[in-house]
Amino acid sequence: MARSEREQVRDKEDEVREAAGGRLGAGHGEKAIRAIETAVQEEEGVRTMGQLKDEKVHSRCAKVTPGQNDAGGEGDGREKGEVQDASSSGDVFCCVCDIDRRLHTNLITPTAIMTSYIPSLTLPSFAFENPAVAILLPVLCGTATGFAISPSVSQTAYRTLKQPPLHPPGYVFGPVWTALYATMGYTAYRAYTIGATSANPNTVALAKHGATLYTIQLALNLIWTPLYFGLGRPIPASVDILALGGTLAYLINIWGQVDPVCGWLLAPYLGWVSFATYLCIGSGYLNNWDFRAISKKN
């Protein structure tokens, strides 16, 4: 074994000693340290501790149950600082593994564990990787949804219904939504490509999780118009737009960690959705939560 590799093993043993000393009492801690050092010394060749971890060192290293130290307190029902063989229990704590995790915290973080990517609820990757597709997809889907309900019918319904204060004229919605759809599409492209090319697995996981949230919010966005104007159901429409706002806020938080610019790009979208929520709930309340009766009357 080369001199530098011996020094690396010694450094690792020192870290193990420090970690085990902090987790266990003095007596049991020394037992764990000796068992680990024995397992390391038995391995011959030019392999480093990282390579030993990938092989069978876990089957022979000391396993310590995660209990309290000598200061007292309740543990997990077993003797404090108990040293076990790897084959005796599956619910054990490995000092070597813990050292390796502490030295590579950038690979395993709480955020990465909490995030989730659901392929069945996510648009295919080409919808994010190609900038033209990413931008045009929401624009075309939003336009198609708007024309599925006749624009003249939507405009008439909007003018007929009682609207809350500060409601804008009907012609404002088309240009605003077109700009917002294009912006969200570019944001999806930017966040996904930055995450996919990142060397940090945590960033990759966040980007993919955001892709799932993006798909969900886009679906919630597109079904609002049929609920509000097509079916005249303000209550389901209000529930839908509230869910949209919550999902969008979560998406901003997730993709904002991938790239802060993406969070700021989606901020106007969240602001407009918040204003649209006010208009949706306000009009529902002013019209007794039933648009169909008003439409028949007119």
Match 């069978």 to its residue by tokens. 56
Confidence label for 93 from pLDDT (cuts 50, 70 and 90): very low
What's the longest Cα–Cα distance across the chain?
91
The pLDDT value recorded for residue 192 is 97
What dotted CATH number matches 114-297? 1.20.1260.100
Match 């949804």 to its residue by tokens. 145
More confident: 48 or 257: 257
Summarize the confidence of residues 103-114 as an average pLDDT.
44
What are the tokens at 166?
A: 């500060």
Match 């085990």 to its residue by tokens. 20
Give the model confidence (pLDDT) of 6-34 as tens digits.
677 677 667 666 655 554 444 555 665 56
Spans of all domains in the chain? 3-104, 114-297
How far lies 190's CA from each of 125, 215, 221, 266, 294, in Å?
Answer: 13, 15, 21, 12, 44
Which residue blocks in 56-109 are alpha helix, DSSP H?
95-103
Q: Is the model's pTM score more than 0.75? A: no
Spatial distance between the Cα atoms of 256 and 146, rounded to a whole number of angstroms:
30
- Nearby residues of 140 by Cβ (< 8 Å), 6 or more positions away: none
Whether pLDDT at 94 is above 60: no
Summarize the confidence of residues 43-72 as an average pLDDT.
44
